[in-house]
A = this chain, B = another copy of it.
Amino acid sequence: MQNYIQENQDRFVAELMDWLRIPSISTDKNFKNDVLRAAEFVAEKLRLAGADKVEICPTAGNPIVYAEKMIDPKLPTVLYYGHYDVQPADPLELWTSPPFEPQIKNETIYARGASDDKGQVYMHIKAFEMMVKHQKVACNMKFMIEGEEEIGSEHLTPFVKENKEKLKSDVILISDTNMLASDCPSITVGLRGLAYVEVEVTGTNRDLHSGLYGGAVVNPINALAAMIAKLKDDKNRITVPNFYDKVLEVSPAERLAMSKAPFDENIYKNDISAPELSGEIGFSALEHVSIRPTLDVNGIWGGYTGEGAKTVIAAKAYAKISMRLVPNQEPNEIANLFKKYFESIAPKSVNVQVHFHHGGQPYVTDTQSVAYQAAEKAVERTFGKKPIPMRGGGSIPIVAMFKQELQRDSILMGFGLDSDAIHSPNEHFGIFNFLKGIETIPYFYQYLAEMS
């Protein structure tokens, strides 16, 4: 099959670029049509690759693309999951080429969604095409590709609940994570959860002139800043009461194993030009982004933000604040703890509202399972090195949902890199990684069938 990849790689890349041209931004209703076009695109490609059945399943939100190729009930069944929606592209001015006009520079595809997750989804579709072409489909294959991952997968849960028979499988396969480096493969065995809130601080019923009112009234921006400042202490620990109560502490043995991963703090720091790293005292940078919960302001706004100076006291100030969670923190519980604390630290001179956005459960994979072993062997086969089991810092809330609703584990075999700039300007995906994914995936199915 190696030859097939070489002969077809230009077409594979060109097709992916066609898909990347569709701005399927799920968080912005203005892109609704593009979201639908992106779903139709991937459905058609699954059909062309050889799926027996392809459906665009409507939901109360964006549709879910389902496809399958069932070959033998005695063989294991794998449910592949991915998403065709992407993050917004702003700030647009920081992109060196337009986010939805993909370009290849240095053997790398630049576009919003190149790595997260269209590029990684497309590896699976092309691997599937190849397996069909070579009559090497080793397992029953199911595909479920949704369009709301970037906004919390709201309509995926009811879909999964209503289609348990259709989605029946032995294991779930996902490529929406990264590996440590192209020459140092890893498989993600843990994910952080997420609690995401939006806060609104109101001082007065209208914007005020800072000369006429300044000094006598609370400024909601100053008040919000002071409240945000109170969310962490001087050790960078989150001050929300009971926030850490349920955190499952990681064993010294696991922390030791993790410390063996090749991680150069200077390279990490220099890549992002950070003057200095910063994190909870008592943990390493790699631990900060994997086994420890966090609190970050993802957006803040209020008052005059245009050119020049305006002497106004804003009526309202806003912030979007998210917390990454670790096992066994529960998103709703954490969001409620946050709300209670945030309201308690508000000065009497303001009104505070806390709204909840989507959340997600943290997750840990069993590295002793057959499916994990098959993934490990597949990656070792194509990369020449046994992948390191790593905990990831991001969240894929649906992994916990699959466990709960389908009673199945997920294998997080990702081919992206941390440096792919997902969710940032100039997102990109190496063509090496894209093709290596296409090469690796069929081995996963082959070993899973052999070992089951």
Which residues on A are within 8 Å of B, measured CB to CB? 27-29, 87-88, 90-91, 94, 150-152, 178, 192, 194, 196, 198, 203-219, 221-222, 224-226, 228-232, 268, 272-280, 285-286, 288-289, 292-314, 317-320, 322, 324, 347-351, 357-358, 392-395, 418, 421-426
The residue on B at minimum CB distance from A223 is B278
| A272–B349 touching, CB < 8 Å | no
Q: Which residues of B are found within 8 Å of A418, using beta-carbon distances?
A: 212
- A26 and chain B: residue at smallest CB distance: B308
A213: which of B232, B289, B349 is its contact (CB, 8 Å)?
Answer: B289
Q: Is the CB of B322 within 8 A of A296?
A: no
Expressed in whole angstroms, the Cα–Cα distance for A219 and B277 within the complex equals 10
Point out the residue from B216, B278, B297, B357 that lies within 8 Å of A303, measured CB to CB: B297
Interface of A is mostly: loop
Q: Which residues of B contact A313 (CB under 8 A)?
A: 296, 298
Give 16 CB contacts A-B under 8 Å.
Answer: A194-B211, A210-B296, A211-B395, A212-B418, A214-B289, A215-B279, A216-B279, A217-B277, A221-B296, A224-B300, A275-B348, A275-B349, A276-B347, A301-B302, A310-B320, A311-B322
Q: Which residue of B is nearest A316, CB measured? A: B91
Number of copies of chain A assembled together: 2
Smallest CB-CB separation from A207: which chain B residue? B424
A269 and chain B: residue at smallest CB distance: B217
User: Is A215 a contact partner of B424 (Cβ separation < 8 A)?
Assistant: no
Q: Which of A203, A228, A298 has the most CB of B within 10 A?
A: A298
A311 adjacent to B196 (CB under 8 Å): yes
A89 to chain B, nearest CB (A): 11
CB neighbours of A349 from chain B (8 A): 274-278
Contact of A211 with B392 in the complex, beta carbons under 8 Å: yes
Q: Is A393 within 8 A of B305, CB to CB?
A: no
CA distance A394 to B308 in the complex (A): 18
Contact B228 A232 (CB under 8 A): no
| Residue from B28, B208, B300 within 8 A of A307 (CB atoms) | B28
CB distance B424 to A211 under 8 Å? no
Residues of B within 8 A of A300 (CB): 221, 224-225, 300-303, 305, 317
A274 partner residues in chain B, CB cutoff 8 A: 203-204, 217-218, 349
**Which residues of B sit under 8 angstroms from A268, Cβ to Cβ?**
216
